[in-house]
A and B are shown apart, each in its own frame.
Chain A
């Protein structure tokens, strides 16, 4: 039976099968070529952007870029020293605001709030804040800080960047703490350690590299943010005052203002700044990815 069936059945399907197969194969091939083509298009755009930055940015890079301050309208030369330092100050201010809040909130969601409705709601809202437009956060900080305090300041810029960083840190902290196996916590509790001690000296320690990754990712996310700074820290062409009041120079807004300006040295500095900022961010994200992969 099993031997005879194929031999009697075989000829019939082969006729129809063969005809269908051609069109199915064509459809399959078209899909494969399209999918591969789309992927290479996206990678091509990435390398196009990076290539453009290297070609146009390297020309503008020199020692002066790192030692001199941004030039005024029409003046010669100049560098980006104040913008680079300002950007670092604002970014670290943002991370300093966001890290304690983000880590503690992520800890609450992962450790204390398990199964509670409120924690679910907070997690949901956090995910929404994660993709909320950064320009709205800039406007928000303008309304609550810049307008009442009577002027642009580095503090407002740092707070705006911090608010953008918080959801990133909350999310990664929670995800990383959830990966810590439960028996580890139980062992700590069995020794008589209260929950706070279990969390700080056992769970956090076990999830440390993942939590650091979250902070690095947040750093990479806010380092290039431009829109929120336009409404908060603004920019200026001088060294900012140490109390961070008034405009604080920073790379993204400098690039924005210099890129389409009529002065050639401004445009060159915009390209140099773009190269510096993009390379730093890409390096940060790659390091963060390495830590995650090494940890697993």
Chain B
């Protein structure tokens, strides 16, 4: 009996194995290739930016990074105003958005009554689901008129002639559009990303730590300041970098409200442009070297966001392990 099954089994196995075996190999290879495709995508994006932008880099040399001329008539292109605009809008977004996000994360994890936590969390996350272009519409048609009438005009009247503030915050043409407006809109767009990562980090911290701090008489503020923030420290920086990555590449909302002017201004109330807004604005009409210059701008944006995101992911991942 045993001998019979021993003889039967190998034959039956081989006969059945062939079709299943091929499916197994095909499936394994298909999933491996799909995973590799992710790498190919990133490499492809990098290569296409470098190759597409190469004529502009070659033509302008290092001047592409330092020149602020953008002259389509004479084919002279410089990226400086767009780079400065990108960095300053993103920086403003962080200055406004990070304290807001941290406050929200603390409220959600420490202060909100339990029944209130879920709906508020969902509302904050829905802020991230609102498409970029809708933020642009809100910014241009709702926020910009209010900003011009109630902030730019009165503020300019007060600070005119003052040293430093009189330059940095003075708006020559109070249209409501400008670098600062774009930064404010961006701040609300990055809040949900930073807030939800920090919230998850704070939730992960063992509650023993918190309880023992409360046990020795610490107030909620002291628990947050001296226990939770040091514990989550590095990952908070990671979350902020992730928000920065978002803010650097955000396109539609910024294009609506930044003013799209190619100039370097000392005032953050003045219109400017970012790399992304410049590309979105001019791409469909661009020909020849202008097109290459726009892709070269994209190349710069790629490398800046890539570095920021790599640092962000390393910092966030390090803490997730604990």
Are A and B genuine complex partners? yes
Interface residues of A in 47-83 (CB under 8 A from B): 48-49, 52-53, 56
Q: For residue A102, give the distance in angstroms from its CB to the closest CB of chain B.
A: 8
* Interchain CA distance A125-B136 in the complex, whole Å: 29
Q: A32-B111, A105-B35, A234-B284 are in contact. Are A140 and B45 (CB under 8 A)?
A: yes
Query: What is the 8 Å Cβ interface bit string for chain B, positions 192-233, against chain A (1 contact, 0 not)?
Result: 100100000000000000000000000111101000000000
Interface residues of B in 109-136 (CB under 8 A from A): 110-112, 120, 122-127, 129-136
For A34, give the chain B residue with the smallest CB separation: B103
Is B295's CB within 8 Å of the partner chain A?
A: yes
A42 engages B127 (CB within 8 Å) = yes
Is B169's CB within 8 Å of the partner chain A?
A: no
Chain B contacts for A271, CB-based, 8 A: 137
Q: A27-B221, A48-B142, A105-B31 are in contact. Are A133 and B251 (CB under 8 A)?
A: yes
Is A282's CB within 8 Å of the partner chain B?
A: yes
Secondary structure at chain A's binding surface: helix, strand, loop or mixed? Answer: helix
Query: What is the 8 Å Cβ interface bit string for chain A, positions 116-139, against chain B (1 contact, 0 not)?
Result: 000101101111110111111101
Q: A25-B219, A27-B219, A39-B120 are in contact. Are A119 and B35 (CB under 8 A)?
A: yes
A274 engages B27 (CB within 8 Å) = no
Q: A49-B138, A133-B250 are in contact. Are A113 and B35 (CB under 8 A)?
A: yes
Partner pick for B48 among A144, A166, A167, CB 8 A cutoff: A144
Partner pick for A143 among B48, B99, B242, B246, CB 8 A cutoff: B48
Partner pick for B140 among A37, A101, A127, A259, CB 8 A cutoff: A259
Q: A27-B221, A108-B31 are in contact. Are A195 and B24 (CB under 8 A)?
A: yes
Chain B contacts for A289, CB-based, 8 A: 122, 125
A100 engages B34 (CB within 8 Å) = yes
Is B150's CB within 8 Å of the partner chain A?
A: no
Is B30's CB within 8 Å of the partner chain A?
A: yes
* Interchain CA distance A197-B16 in the complex, whole Å: 14
Chain B contacts for A282, CB-based, 8 A: 126, 129-130
* Interchain CA distance A156-B38 in the complex, whole Å: 18
Interface residues of A in 136-188 (CB under 8 A from B): 136-137, 139-140, 143-144, 163, 166-167, 170
Interface residues of A in 22-45 (CB under 8 A from B): 24-25, 27-28, 30-32, 34-39, 41-43, 45
Chain B contacts for A100, CB-based, 8 A: 34
Partner pick for A125 among B39, B103, B108, B195, CB 8 A cutoff: B39
List the one stretch of A88-96, A220-228, A237-245 in contact with chain B.
A220-228
Chain A contacts for B136, CB-based, 8 A: 256, 259
Chain B contacts for A119, CB-based, 8 A: 35
B120 engages A43 (CB within 8 Å) = yes
* Interchain CA distance A289-B36 in the complex, whole Å: 29
A104 engages B35 (CB within 8 Å) = yes
Centre residue among A38, A39, A49, A102 by max chain B CB count within 10 A: A39
Q: For residue A295, give the distance in angstroms from its CB to the closest CB of chain B.
A: 16
A255 engages B111 (CB within 8 Å) = no
Q: A25-B219, A46-B123 are in contact. Are A104 and B30 (CB under 8 A)?
A: yes
Is B84's CB within 8 Å of the partner chain A?
A: no
B32 engages A255 (CB within 8 Å) = no
For B25, give the chain A residue with the smallest CB separation: A196
Is A268's CB within 8 Å of the partner chain B?
A: no
A274 engages B137 (CB within 8 Å) = yes
Chain B contacts for A124, CB-based, 8 A: 313, 317
B48 engages A140 (CB within 8 Å) = yes
Q: A53-B134, A255-B137 are in contact. Are A39 and B103 (CB under 8 A)?
A: yes
* Interchain CA distance A194-B19 in the complex, whole Å: 11
For B279, give the chain A residue with the smallest CB separation: A135
List the one stretch of B60-68, B71-79, B153-161, B298-306 in contact with chain A.
B298-306
Partner pick for B44 among A43, A144, A286, CB 8 A cutoff: A144
Interface residues of A in 182-225 (CB under 8 A from B): 194-197, 199-200, 220, 223-225
Is A249's CB within 8 Å of the partner chain B?
A: no
Partner pick for B132 among A220, A224, A230, CB 8 A cutoff: A224
Known: A42-B191, A128-B313. 10 other contacts (CB 8 A): A35-B110, A101-B34, A104-B30, A131-B246, A132-B45, A140-B48, A143-B295, A196-B24, A223-B131, A255-B137
- A sample of 15 inter-chain contacts (CB < 8 A) reads A38-B99, A52-B138, A102-B34, A104-B30, A128-B309, A132-B306, A132-B309, A135-B301, A140-B48, A143-B48, A197-B20, A252-B252, A259-B140, A278-B131, A285-B126
